[in-house]
Amino acid sequence: MIAINDLDREEITRTLSELGEPRYRAVQICDWLYRRRATSFEDMTNLPLDLRRHLSKKFAIKRVRLIDEIVSPEDGATKYLLQLHDSLHIESVLLPHPRGATLCISSQVGCAFGCRFCATATMGFIRNLSPGEIVDQVNFAIDYLSHETPKERRQVLKRPFSNVVFMGMGEPLANFENVVKAIRIIIEEVGIGSRHITISTCAIPEKIVKLAELPYEIKLAISLNNPRDEKRKEIMPVAGKFALKEVMAAARYYYSKKKRFLTFEYVLIEGINDSPRDAQEVARLLEGLPSKINLIALNPFPDCPYRRPKASTITRFASLLEAKGRNVTVRKSLGSDILAGCGQLGTLANKLRHKS
């Protein structure tokens, strides 16, 4: 059955007008779906009974369901293990910050891109998330934070989250249509502005160009991880398909359309991409492009073949970039003690299921 919460307002309006219903019914339904997180048509008490009955025969409402919540004692980062209607699992992570928390959401179950340092990659690709499954991670978190999270913990967050980043499981640009539709619903119905939404990508140039054509100001983060194609290929197989020359051309195009700083994420891995020469080449690659480099020390996970560099190596890398005039931030990887750090989202639940 089609999930009505995979539809945007325009589609819901069209469906309702086919049933001879006035336009304002669509507004009411969107309110129930994307603000009040109704779980059934019965809840929609301001709709006529026969319309509720009719809709419930035609549509489902598919919600994500909380299975487990793990809070980091170190920094308050919270990992939510969520179950989908077909029993697969995904994860969202809430990352506290004094200036407003960030919710990190998933776009796929598993991932097809096989980055060697990434936990999700070890699951392989299972399926795309639907628009509703993406949006509902945001609605779930809003709901859960306002109603069910104990007050003491809410205070750690200072404010509810204000930013949404696609840095959870999956490659968002490989699920392009559903991600864009989800973003439209998040903007129009949930009320989070496109400037507060970031897409992080292993860099698929044609999709970056497509994203640049959209009328949104979504922030773009590109997972660089190595400044040379030959070396990048060793840790990111996608580099064998798209050369950095194409990636950088797409990134420049994105900047030319949006005029917003780009972010380049760089996971530092000991002995792989952390040398002074690597830093010099990163600086050269990004020359003239208004951007920020986000250095992330590798978060090892069980069976991860790599190690994170020493703190002094990370500092040296950052200083070399700064000396070349680049903007650098060293990301404190929140939640790494609960395996909720970036790229560590690969649930055991899915792995067991997928293997059986």
Q: Which residues bind ligand SAH (CB under 6 A)?
A: 117-118, 167, 171, 200-202, 223, 225, 265, 267, 296, 298-299, 341-344
Q: Which residues pair with 200 in a beta bridge?
A: 221
| E strand map for the chain | 2-3, 59-60, 65-71, 78-83, 89-95, 102-104, 108-110, 125-128, 163-166, 197-201, 219-223, 262-268, 291-297, 327-331
Which is the catalytic residue, given 91, 171, 189, 265? 91
Burial class of 147 by CB neighbour count within 10 A (0 to 12, 13 to 18, 19+):
exposed
- Residue placing its CB nearer to ligand SAH in the complex, 224 or 283: 224
C-beta closer to ligand SAH: residue 61 or 95: 95
Task: List the Cα angle 259/317/281 in 5-degree steps.
Answer: 60
Residue 267's identity, in one-letter code, is V
Q: Is 91 a catalytic residue?
A: yes
Give dist(CA 33, CA 136) in Å, integer. Answer: 9
Residue in 30, 202, 304, 342 annotated catalytic? 342
Count Cα atoms within 13 angstroms, Cβ side, for 54. 11
- Smallest gap, in angstroms, from Cβ of residue 168 to ligand SAH? 7
Min dist CB 296 to ligand SAH, Å, is: 5
Which CB atom, from 204 or from 283, has the smaller least distance to ligand SAH? 204
Residue 84 to residue 72: CA distance in whole angstroms: 24
CB of 340 to ligand SAH, least distance (A): 11
Minimum distance of ligand SAH from residue 171's CB (angstroms): 4
Residue among 239, 316, 308, 312 at smallest CA distance from 267: 308
Q: Is the Cβ of residue 28 or residue 122 nearer to ligand SAH in the bound state?
A: 122
Q: Compute the distance between CA of residue 51 and CA of residue 22 in angstroms, rounded to an integer.
A: 12
The packing angle between helices 176-185 and 205-212, to 10°, is 30
Task: Give 82's strand partners.
Answer: 66, 90
Residue with CB nearest ligand SAH?
Answer: 343
Instruction: State yes or no: is 342 an active-site residue.
Output: yes
Closest alpha carbon to 132 in 110, 111, 105: 105
Q: Which is nearer to ligand SAH, 192 or 342 (CB)?
A: 342
- Order the strands of the 102-104 sheet from edge to edge: 65-71, 78-83, 89-95, 102-104, 163-166, 197-201, 219-223, 262-268, 291-297, 327-331
Shortest spacing between CB 120 and ligand SAH, in angstroms: 7
We find the least distance from the C-beta atom of residue 343 to ligand SAH, in angstroms, to be 2
Q: Which is nearer to ligand SAH, 115 or 145 (CB)?
A: 115
Q: Are 299 and 334 in contact (CB under 8 A)?
A: no
Tell me the catalytic residues.
Answer: 91, 342
